[in-house]
Structure 1
Amino acid sequence: MQDPDTFHRQLREAGMRVTAPRLAVLEILHAHPHSTADVVAAGVRTRLGGVSTQTVYDVLRACSERGLLRRIEPAGSPVRYETRTGDNHHHLICRACGAIVDIDCVVGEAPCVVPDRDHGYRVDEAEVTFWGECPSCLRKTQADR
């Protein structure tokens, strides 16, 4: 678990007030990366009691806009959030169970992949999603055969 003072500092450095819902969201996502808003909301309510789903969505939006959270949108899946920001990592997603793991840059530094033609853009980030089957689901598939 990350030192709670780190979350206080991150919020203040982002120009945000330190509130219990914001701290709870950051703590939950640090412990459970790639969680959906519903999972985060359930965790916040467990910790703090009657916090509305809208409050959690507001915290997720504000923290994402300030760079404290990264919002990822895997195809066919609800939006997910993580506290790993500031780098250009990618994701590997299991097609069977939906498990998500982080993958560091494919080659070198950000954007770590280069399009064949940049159309005049200054590319500074690339978002790559690898899809496959996690070891657990792969074992189950092989056992079913």
Structure 2
Amino acid sequence: MEQSAGDLLKSKGLRSTTQRRAVLTALRGHPHSTAAELETRIGGTGSSGGGLSRQGLYNVLDDLARARLVRCIEPAGSPARYELRVGDNHHHLVCRGCGRIEDIDCAVGSAPCLAPVQERGFAVDEAEITWWGLCAECQKASAESAPGSVSG
């Protein structure tokens, strides 16, 4: 059974506040959410989010990321995105057309999955890879809008 937001917070030594629980709950089932999407999902000041301001939301996200309860990814040209899938060394596939992001499991299986040619004194424990391309829907839309294409 999945741990409750309160139990997750306690397991990392964080206080189980209404705001932290609201953010964790808002991320469930919505991986790769932006702060703006979370703010909309939670509701702003005075709602069930516990009166969470935008700055408060960023503070909570920072606390959760430092505790490794959420992971922040920052694909080029996109706002920071947050997900609950942490500690498994997975990677991401990003569509250049619509911005959709998919999780991609590490092919090697153990962290860091890849190693730099020169570690330069670092103890590498994680590799973050982002592949870019077009999802099936964007490929289809691109082909349909190409000059000389025939729509059926």
Q: TM-score, normalization: structure 2?
A: 0.86
Pairwise CA distance, 1:83: 0.5
Q: What are the superposed Cα offsets for residues 64-106 of structure 1, whole Å, 9 maximum, x if unpaired?
A: 1111010111111111100000110000000011110100113
Q: Determine the C-alpha separation between the residues in 2 that align with 1:121 and 1:65.
A: 20
Q: What are the superposed Cα offsets for residues 115-140 of structure 1, whole Å, 9 maximum, x if unpaired?
A: 22222322111010000001111111
* Alignment match, 1:125: 126
Pairwise CA distance, 1:51: 2.8
* Structure 1 residue runs without a partner (length 5+): none
- Answer yes or no: is 1:54 the counterpart of 2:48: no
Structure having the higher helix fraction is: 1
* Alignment match, 2:16: 18
* Alignment match, 2:143: 142
Q: TM-score, normalization: structure 1?
A: 0.90
Across the two proteins, how many residue pairs are aligned to each other?
143
Q: What are the superposed Cα offsets for residues 25-64 of structure 1, whole Å, 9 maximum, x if unpaired?
A: 1111122110111111111117616431122111111111
Percent identity over the alignment is 48
Pairwise CA distance, 1:108: 3.0
* Alignment match, 2:32: 34
* Structure 2 residue runs without a partner (length 5+): 147-152
Q: Determine the C-alpha separation between the residues in 2 that align with 1:83 and 1:120.
A: 30
Q: Determine the C-alpha separation between the residues in 1 that align with 2:119 and 2:138.
A: 38
Q: Determine the C-alpha separation between the residues in 2 that align with 1:128 and 1:86.
A: 14
